[in-house]
Each structure stands twice: as C-alpha cells, then as structure tokens.
Amino acid sequence: MALKIGVLGYRFMGRAHSNAFARLPMFFPDAPDLERHTLVGRDEDALADAADRLDFATTATDWETAIDDVDVFYNLGPNFVHPEPSIAALESDVPVFCEKPLAPTLEDAERMAGAAEESDAIAGCAFNYRFVPAIQYAKNLIEAGELGAIRQVRGKYLQDWGVDPAEPWSWRMDEELAGSGALGDLGAHTIDLARFLVGDRAGAIERISGQLRTFVDERPVDGDGSGNETREVTVDDAYSAQAEFANGAMGTFEASRVADGHKNDHTIAIHGTEGSLRFSLERLNELELLRDGDRGYETVLVTDADDPYVDHWWPPGHVLGWEHTFVHEDYEFLSAVAGDGAFHPSFADGLAVQRALDAIERSDDRGEWVAVE
C-alpha cells in the first residue's frame, strides 16, 4: 500500500520535495510506493494550481484535516508554522518531516523535540546537505580516521540576494515569523554539517562567541500600490561565530545575505592531525582532500558507482546537482518510515542546532562567550 503524503507549503521547498517524490520510483526502485495525497495552503486558487502542477490528489486549507488523512506529513511552511502542525501530527503518531531551522525559537524547538520523543512516529529535520555524495564521502573518511584528530572546522554560507536595499520585505526578515535571519536560514545548515562531519559526540559545541548584524534596517513592501510603504527588518543580515567543540576542536562560522557576488556559496573545511578536506556547494560533485604527506590538495570527483548514492544515477563523471539532495533525503526518510527504522537528522539533531543558534544570539546580546545549553 502506498504511503499517503501530505505537504504543507507549495512554493520553494514544496516544489523541491515534489520533484523528489516524482524521481524516487524512477531511480530508487526499492523506495516505498507514494501517493501525493494532500497539499495544504491558504490561498485556494494558488493552491489548486499548485496541486495540479505538483500532482497532488486533493487540497486542504486546514492542516488539522490534512493530518487526519495522510500517513506522512511534510511541514515545509515558514518557520513560525513549524511547531503546532508538527506537534499535532506527532501526537497522532503521524511521521513528520520538517524544514529547518526546526523552529523560530529554542523554546518551540524543545517542544517539538519533546513531542518527537513521546511519539511512536519518526520525526526528521530537513538538513539536505548531509545527503550530497561528496559530504557522505567526507563523513566516511573522517570516521575511518583518515584525517586523524580533528583540530579545526571552518564553515561559511554566503548569498547576495539582500544586497540591494530595494529588495522587498518578506517573512524571512521578521523576527516573529522567522526567529532569525542569515543565522537560522543559512547558519543552521553549516552548524549541522559541522556536527555531522565531526561526529555527534565530538561534534557537540560546548561554548560559542557570536556577532549578528543588520545592514538594511527597513525594506519596501512589494505590491502595496504606493511604492512608499516600508517595513522594519528585525533579523540579522549576517552573522559570525567562534566555537569550541567537545573534542577541543575550534570552529569558525559565518553567513550573509548581503555578500555581493555570492549566489549560494556554502563551504566547509575540516583540518585534522593527519590531513584536511574542503567542500563547496558550488562544486558539489567534488571534494578537495589532503592526506598526511601530500604536497597539496587532490580534487576527488565523487561520481563513481561505488560512491554514496551514485549507483542510482548516471555513469561516472555525469554529475549530480542540488535537486538530487532532496531525492536522497526523501529516500532515506520515507524508507525509514516504511521500515520502522531510524532517520537522521532527527528532531533531536534539529534541537542541537537550535541550541547553537540560540547561544550565538545570547552571545551577541551579552558581548561574551556563552555555554551552549
């Protein structure tokens, strides 16, 4: 019997996951059968059009109704919509997959993780960059001890869509709706990758020092008719942080929405006692690797059939792209649902990231190092 999928949200992430649902049976024949059952949104006309394009059988403007009708619930709405629908689904033992960051606030994230712990259902958090083949390859190298003891972790995520002060205001610029700006939207990805690569225990961040900055304090309201109305920006445009890991490693992180010339520049580097590696999302099929004794970095093209996930796709050298991360992510999550297995990143992983985000904000407020609690 096919798993009936319900999805809240039909824009950016809704399209990304719907595309993944369509690709799964073509390339992952052992994936569970799916039915794109219910698409949830508020605008009935736009919702009906989206359901037709994304091939959903029905629509709903009430997420509570949708939860009753589906086997799996994907919460892909804005950050402020993450807590209540996800908690309600888990209380009904309906598996939940939720966009990142897990919630706008640490308190909400704790409630969500608590609901997941009490539920018999699986709860996954959407850190899709874990599922890049090159990142999986890097994880395997680190776990095998190829880099020795980890000393430094450096990550940055730079975009430039906010450079122009005429860029219209959106929910992502409101603290009540988003929780934070570049910190939660972009920094969450980097911190999760750092934890994933270094290892959950060694990768625990114990204390942190952070700075947040808003460069454009207000932005125009798009489509208000006058061209004069503006709204205040109440989140950060950029952040930077220093961190100390449980294993003694140092971490440096930064993200920006106002880094001119950077469209989607997510990079992470790991330095150990016996080697280093670095990864860039803009060259996501490649991993730069330096082992002890090498004179320089080697570029490894992670597209061979024995590389993670690649045997499901094309011949060696026929590269993958950003959209494939969602196919891999949904394959793992839905296979865990169908097989009563475990899935990571879980809501507990999402909570760990949220605690680091919260610590960066507290550090900025206090102007000092703080413990990640």
Q: Tell me: the pLDDT tens digits for 213-232?
A: 999 999 999 765 556 899 99
Tell me the sheet residues that pair with 272. Answer: 150
According to the model, what pLDDT value does residue 200 have? 64
Whether pLDDT at 153 is above 60: yes
The pLDDT-based confidence of 187 (bands split at 50, 70, 90) is very high
According to the model, what pLDDT value does residue 224 have? 54
Token pair for 47: 């919702």
Q: What does the pLDDT average to over 264-282?
A: 97
Distance CA 353, CA 348 (A): 9
Average pLDDT, the chain: 95
Distance CA 347, CA 352 (A): 9
From the list 42, 76, 78, the residue with the least C-alpha distance to 172 is: 78
* CATH superfamily of the domain spanning 129-371: Dihydrodipicolinate Reductase; domain 2 (3.30.360.10)
The vertex-218 CA angle with 214 and 219, nearest 5°, equals 115
Residue 14 CA neighbour count, 13 Å, CB half: 22
Task: Tell me the whole-structure pTM to 2 decimals.
Answer: 0.95
According to the model, what pLDDT value does residue 295 have? 84
Burial class (CB in 10 A: 0-12, 13-18, 19+), 48: middle
Q: How far is CA 293 from the centre of its chain?
A: 35
Sequence spans of domains, the chain: 3-128, 129-371
Token pair for 9: 């949200």
**Model confidence pLDDT, tens digit, residues 191-207:** 999 999 997 656 689 99
* CATH superfamily of the domain spanning 3-128: NAD(P)-binding Rossmann-like Domain (3.40.50.720)
Q: Which of 61-75, 187-201, 277-291, 338-352 has the lowest mean pLDDT?
A: 187-201
Q: What does the pLDDT average to over 250-270?
A: 97
According to the model, what pLDDT value does residue 227 have? 62
DSSP state of 29: T
**Model confidence pLDDT, tens digit, residues 102-132:** 999 999 999 999 999 999 999 999 999 999 9
**Under a CB-based contact definition with an 8 Å cutoff, are residues 168 and 231 in contact?**
no
From the list 157, 236, 196, the residue with the least C-alpha distance to 352 is: 196
For residues 107, 108, 114, 118, the Cα torsion angle rounded to the nearest 10 degrees is 150
For residue 23, what are the CA distances in angstroms to 105, 145, 237? 34, 35, 35
Distance CA 41, CA 50 (A): 10
Q: What does the pLDDT average to over 265-273?
A: 97
Token pair for 206: 């114990």
